[in-house]
Amino acid sequence: MSAIATPLVIGVTSHRNIPARETGMIRQRVRDFLLQLQRGFPRSPLVVLSALAEGGDQWVAQEGLKLGARLIAPLPLPRDMYAQDFADADTHAAFESLCAQAHVIPLPLLPGHTLADIAQSGIERNRQYAQAGAFVARHCHLLLAIWDGKSTGLLGGTAQVVEYYLGGAMPGHIERRRVLHHLGGGDERLVAHLVCSRDEADGAPQPPLQAGQLLWRDGSETGAPEAPMPRAFQAMFEHAEEFNADALKYRERIEAANGERAGAIGALFHAADWLAVHFQKRVLLAMRITYTVAALMGIAFAVYDNLNAHDYMIYVFLLLFVTGIVISTIARKRGWHRKYLDYRALA
């Protein structure tokens, strides 16, 4: 029986024409980045969401598979038509190999498009690619953008996918991103920007960026190169990690309580629901003990204050006081109330 766990989904958007001189460096940075996530959040299974285009899309997929990540591939065009984009034999072979190891999602034609429309270069074909970029942006927790940092007007290009992910709009694309909220609050999104060049005239990264740097971007600011992940997002992923740890810890009791499960989503719902109720009970128990201890403290102090023959009651009062502090500290450090609220919201 497979473990119940929420994955950490890494979406990929990348330039295709990254210079050959940067290939090894970029791939190493991708490998290090994925390893960092895997080591930082070991209970959250990695999922790579990539359209498998030439360049960074394929590199991230390959490095993810080496680390045991699951690969999901939303294809912008029918597979046989998309394969024609890979004129180079090596990239075509890599595409076919990755498809064989991935859960492939053929994206539908946009309204008004026909196979004849998208069979050749043009706005209809570009919009299909934009749809794939939008799909990746809507379904990932963290977007890895292998990008020169320059804004372009290319529909569905890396710059526009990043803009769509952070702001919800993609010029020329018919669908605005639906607002999704993290448990951390708000509509925050995080981009891991891995800087690269492009193999063309004036293909250097946007100054002062340098190829190989990694920096974090959210909707309001850009971090310094090589800075750690912003603390708010680190905490959010840590909370997901806690959920996976709790789901594993109480797995047998969850399974016994829920019986038959309706697939992976149903299993996650039942786990979140069971854990929410479990931690609600702990919160209520802590509150009841605290209130009872407070009442007993009042009685003990009243006896001590009014009956001189019962001086030992001051020690009973102090013992009850310490008990209340201990219970409160345990509840706070173990995050019972926060977990109850988070898991109820998740369910």
Give the integer Cα–Cα distance in Å for 42 and 153.
39
- Identify the residue whose tokens are 């065009």: 77
Write the CATH number for 55: 3.40.50.450
Does one domain contain both 158 and 269?
no
In a domain, 251, yes or no: no
* Residues in a beta bridge with 169: none
Does one domain contain both 52 and 152?
yes
- Identify the residue whose tokens are 């201990």: 326
For residue 325, what are its two tokens?
């502090």
Does one domain contain both 299 and 266?
yes
Computed over its alpha carbons, how large is the radius of gyration of the chain? 26
Instruction: Kindly list the distances between the CA atom of residue 323 and the CA atoms of 281, 286, 326, 337, in Å, as whole numbers in the listed order.
Output: 19, 11, 5, 19
User: Domain of 286?
Assistant: 259-346
Give me the count of residues in the chain.
Answer: 347
Give the integer Cα–Cα distance in Å for 55 and 91.
8
pTM of the model: 0.85
- Provide the number of structural domains found in the chain: 2
Contact status, residue 84 vs residue 58, Cβ threshold 8 Å: no
Chain centroid to CA 251: 23
pLDDT digit string (tens) for the chain, length 347 residues: 456 889 999 999 999 999 999 999 999 999 999 999 999 999 999 999 999 999 999 999 999 999 999 999 999 999 999 988 887 899 999 999 999 999 999 999 988 888 988 888 888 888 999 999 999 999 999 999 999 999 887 888 899 999 999 987 766 655 554 544 443 344 578 999 999 999 988 889 999 999 999 999 987 788 899 999 999 999 999 999 999 999 999 988 988 887 666 677 888 888 999 999 999 999 999 999 999 999 998 888 888 878 766 678 888 888 999 998 999 899 999 899 999 999 998 88
